Amino acid sequence: MSEADNGSSKSTLSEQEPVTAVRTFIGRVAADSNARKILFRFTKEWLLPRWHQFLLSMLIGVALAISTAGYPKIIKESFNSIGKGDMTLLPWILGGIIGVTALRGLCLFLHQVVSNRTIFRLGTDLQTHAFRHFISADYARFAREGTGHMVSRLTNDIGVVQNACQASLNTLIRDTMTVVGLVGFMLYLDPVLSTIVLGVFPIAVLPIVLISQRLRRVAKQTQHEVGEMTAALTEKLAGARLIKTYRLEEYATRKLSENFEAIFRLRMKAVRARARLGPMLEACAGIAIAGVIALATWRISTGISSTGDFMAFVTALLMAASALRSVGSFSSGVQDGIAALERLYALFDDKPTVVDRPAAKPLAITAGTIAFDAVSFAYETRNDLPAVHDFTLCIPGGRTAAFVGRSGAGKSTIINLVPRLFDVSSGAILIDGQDLRDVTLDTLRNAVSIVSQDVTLFDDTIRANIALGRLNASANEIVAAAKAAAAHDFIMAQPQGYDTVIGDSGMRLSGGQRQRLALARAILKDAPILLLDEATSALDTESERLVQDALARFTKNRTTLVIAHRLSTVQRADIICVMDGGSIVEVGSHTELMLRDAAYARLCKAQLLIEADSPSAAIN
């Protein structure tokens, strides 16, 4: 490289350094501005409505500060009395010590109870509010964000906010009031020594501010990594059967260990940053105490001050330094809390898009006819590739339509669009001539029941899981629905019958039993539109026959959309829609489509091969 080139390079670097510094400064200012906005909003929305609780904590904190400031006063009188050989004040001194300690103990107890009650209630309300936002969010958010991240928001993030608020109550109210009370006593006792002390501690302010900014960045990264870890942990625990069957224990442990290590490294960064605060404050306290001792020694030797004054001042200084150390360390907890609040408000500010229009009306079901008019839809997570394209189909009320095609053909997407789990990208879906976007979500979803191959059951009783179809259903109605789904016999064989708790996701039941409970729930709901997504895929031959008979009765005069790969299910449909690549390939009845000898006939031939040979060609 020539000297000219080298000089040019140096010039460029020297020009870039100020630019980088300016950008860094602007970034910090913007971050601080955003932090202030977050804190102001949180204070307005969550803290101010609880002002009376915080006021009570503050009053208790004032009483605590006053009682704490009484210690140096007692020490002063004790040393002065002892120095003069005057024992007449001893009973008063001893009584004062007992009284001050009793008052301080009572204040500590009350402050802890009141502050913890306030913070726990705040955390509970935040969790309820956050869960309501999650469960009311667009269904797309669940696919986009994942369960683990949501669980982390509800547990870790809110826990961090609780800790920050708890630290605020303890520090800003209790410790700050204590510092104010002790410093006031020090100023009263000796203004000169107090001025020396108060002149030292501002030196630590700038390092504390810089460390706090670093802590906020690290806290934000840590909370993101905790979300990643929670998601990975949830995923691995849910896949325990696969992991054990394929002997993947070491692989799963190694993958999770990477998440644990990332969190460990970030937490150690925060520890090192926080660890710098203590020595800085300790050094400031040491300088202040050394100055106080030097000056106090001279003042005592000249008779300006007494030994009691000196001991009282040092006691007050040491107690104030301890409380001030808590105030200085408080900043790190606040930065964690701000980072957590930023993540929470990102959730609170994410408004669902699948909502009622201003003029939405209740859905009026007459025949139950469902019409798809040039419907297209693309998932956000699939690079805008359409899952369904220009889909047009009319299903008359009370009829059954079966959707068949290979995996990825768009069948499940069609099912998800009917209850508006997603909104169409273009075109329209109409029920009895009413655009789904023009009716209220409540009435639309009340009119739809769904039974999926991925059965959702909760860790509750069998009765409670079936009753989710209609919460006010009677015991007889629940039993009738179970009988209609061919589930009553196996339910009665359980240890407590309908009151048997089935475990997380119904793991104490077989796959076929779980699907029959899901079907019983749909039967209990008794909605005019039924969506079946591989509803009989996990049933044995006998159970399938029983369920098919139940479905034949239940779907009569009910509009039903079915996704299935078994001919026994498909061929009973009034309309069979063959899909490929998100579009309709052909439509007709089983007999009509077999006579055409086209796509459907080829799938049927593949289906026949499944029974004797390979499962890879299933209509799924």
pLDDT tens per residue across span 183-240: 887 888 778 777 777 776 666 566 666 666 676 677 777 777 777 777 777 767 766 6
Amino acid making up residue 284: C
Give the integer Cα–Cα distance in Å for 153 and 141.
Answer: 14
Give domain status of residue 240, yes or no. yes
Maximum Cα–Cα distance across the chain: 120
Give domain status of residue 130, yes or no. yes
Give domain status of residue 280, yes or no. yes
CA within 13 Å, CB half, 619:
31
Total Cβ atoms within 10 A of residue 541: 8
Amino acid making up residue 303: G
pLDDT band at 451 (very low <50, low <70, confident <90, very high): confident
The more confident residue out of 249 and 441 is 441
Percent of the chain with pLDDT over 90: 21
Helix (H, G, I), strand (E, B) or coil at 585: strand
pTM of the entire predicted model = 0.72
- Do 529 and 418 meet the contact criterion of CB atoms below 8 Å apart? yes
Domain that holds residue 85: 45-348
**Mean pLDDT for all residues in the chain:** 79
Q: Provide the residue count of the chain.
A: 620
Give the integer Cα–Cα distance in Å for 219 and 158.
Answer: 13
Give domain status of residue 81, yes or no. yes
Give the integer Cα–Cα distance in Å for 236 and 249.
Answer: 10
User: Rounded mean pLDDT of 314-342?
Assistant: 74
pLDDT of residue 171 exceeding 80, the answer is: no
The more confident residue out of 130 and 144 is 130
Q: Can you give the CATH number for the domain in which 133 is found?
A: 1.20.1560.10
Residue-level pLDDT at 209: 64
Q: How many domains does the chain have?
A: 1
Q: What ranges in 526-598 are assigned the alpha helix state H?
A: 541-554, 567-570, 590-596
Give the integer Cα–Cα distance in Å for 21 and 612.
Answer: 72
Give domain status of residue 40, yes or no. no
Amino acid making up residue 415: I
pLDDT of residue 592 exceeding 60, the answer is: yes
Give the integer Cα–Cα distance in Å for 588 and 578.
Answer: 9
Give the integer Cα–Cα distance in Å for 322 and 337.
Answer: 23
Give domain status of residue 543, yes or no. no
Best-predicted range by mean pLDDT (71-75, 245-249, 540-544): 71-75
User: Rounded mean pLDDT of 358-372?
Assistant: 94
Tokens of 617: 């060609």
Give domain status of residue 145, yes or no. yes
Tokens of 114: 């009141």
- Do 543 and 549 meet the contact criterion of CB atoms below 8 Å apart? no
What stretch of H or E contains 459? none
Give the integer Cα–Cα distance in Å for 221 and 268.
Answer: 12
Residue-level pLDDT at 538: 60
* pLDDT tens digits along 392-410: 999 999 999 999 988 888 9
Q: Which of the 8 DSSP states describes residue 197?
A: H
Give domain status of residue 164, yes or no. yes
* pLDDT tens digits along 287-302: 777 777 777 777 767 7
> CA dist 261 to 225, 226, 229, Å?
10, 11, 10
User: Rounded mean pLDDT of 64-86?
Assistant: 72
> CA dist 335 to 35, 129, 216, Å?
9, 22, 4
Total Cβ atoms within 10 A of residue 358: 5
Give the integer Cα–Cα distance in Å for 288 and 320.
Answer: 12
Burial class (CB in 10 A: 0-12, 13-18, 19+), 91: exposed
